Structures are given as structure tokens and as C-alpha cells.
Amino acid sequence: MLNISPQKSIPLFCLSISKEKKNQPPFYVIIPLMKKDITAKDTIKTITQDIAKHILGLHVTRIKFVDKELQRIEKREADIVALCQINGVKGILHLEIQNDNDKTMHRRMLRYHTDIKMRFEKLPLHQYVVYIGKPKLSQF
């Protein structure tokens, strides 16, 4: 169980970690609030292996940090995105019209999903691919 709670009197975050095992007290890590997010990330980098081992229960070795800047310079336009009532509930309907067998369609739909949810995060999203191609649809 992971519990993060801001402290009111001191500009710190108290990270309380407790295991599911009985008789094992939780341990605490105090992390000062940093003016720069990058400083906090650099600090966390130095304890990545400890976080993996003690919090996540993972045995991690040979750590190589990769470029984490995920740039997407593209314009992606969904076929149909509609704000509507779906079975009596306000939501988003996303339809992609597909006329060929695209083996990457599942990844494209995931990307559309994340982009749409970033804009309409509180609304339920219903996504569908409508296949209109002549050849029989193959598995993705």
C-alpha cells in the first residue's frame, strides 16, 4: 500500500509505505518539495533500484536511463468523435472507419483513446472500428 500525503506545516511530502505482511511496520521516506521538478526526478533516479526492490518487489539490474522525452509532432485526426448520450449517459463516441487490414489498428486506437481522454477525461469513452473493406478482416 502506498500513501502520499502533503504535510501542512513543513514543505515536505511524507511517503508512507507499508507491506501487506503482518508484524511489519510501515517505513517512511521524507521528500522535500523542490522548486524544480527536474531536481526531484534526478533525486529519484539515484534510488530507482531501491524503489524497485523495496516498494515494487522487483529485482532490477543493469539500469540504463533512456531519453524519456516523448515527442509527438503530428496532426492526428479521428474520423468521428461525438459528445452524446449513450444509453442515457453523457459520453464520447469515437468511430474509426477502416477500409483495409491495418495490423497497427489496435495501437492507433490506443493512441486515439489517450488523446480523447486527455480532452474529455471525466466522460466515458466508447470506441469502435467500423470495417468497410472488401477483403475479409484479418486479426489485428
Q: Is residue 62 part of a domain?
A: no
Q: Is residue 92 part of a domain?
A: yes
Q: Is residue 140 part of a domain?
A: no
Q: Is residue 39 part of a domain?
A: yes
- Please report, for residues 29, 66, 124, the alpha-carbon distance to residue 55 in angstroms, rounded to integers and kept in the order given: 11, 22, 32
CB contact at 8 A, 137 and 131: yes
Judged against a pLDDT cut of 70, whether residue 58 lies above it is answered with yes
122 or 72, which is more confident: 122
Q: In this predicted structure, what is the pLDDT of residue 77? A: 86
Judged against a pLDDT cut of 60, whether residue 30 lies above it is answered with no
Judged against a pLDDT cut of 70, whether residue 135 lies above it is answered with yes
CB contact at 8 A, 61 and 68: no
Q: Are residues 51 and 84 in the same domain?
A: no
Residue 26: give the domain boundaries: 2-55
- Please report, for residues 5, 97, 104, 129, the alpha-carbon distance to residue 101 in angstroms, rounded to integers and kept in the order given: 49, 12, 9, 11
H helices of the chain, in order, are 37-46, 48-50, 105-119
Q: Are residues 90 and 51 in the same domain?
A: no
Q: Is residue 137 part of a domain?
A: no
pLDDT in tens, 67-87: 666 666 778 888 999 999 989
Q: Are residues 51 and 94 in the same domain?
A: no
In this structure, how many other beta carbons lie within 10 angstroms of the beta carbon of residue 112?
19
Q: Is residue 69 part of a domain?
A: no
d(CA 24, CA 128): 48
Instruction: Give the chain's domain count.
Output: 2
Q: Is residue 138 part of a domain?
A: no
Q: Is residue 60 part of a domain?
A: no
pLDDT in tens, 3-23: 444 444 444 444 545 545 556
- Please report, for residues 87, 107, 128, the alpha-carbon distance to residue 132 in angstroms, rounded to integers and kept in the order given: 25, 19, 13
d(CA 29, CA 19): 14
Q: Are residues 85 and 40 in the same domain?
A: no
Q: How confident is the model at residue 94 (pLDDT cuts 50, 70, 90)?
A: very high
pTM (predicted TM-score): 0.55
d(CA 119, CA 83): 12
Q: How confident is the model at residue 32 (pLDDT cuts 50, 70, 90)?
A: low
- Nearest-Å Rg of the Cα atoms of the chain is 22
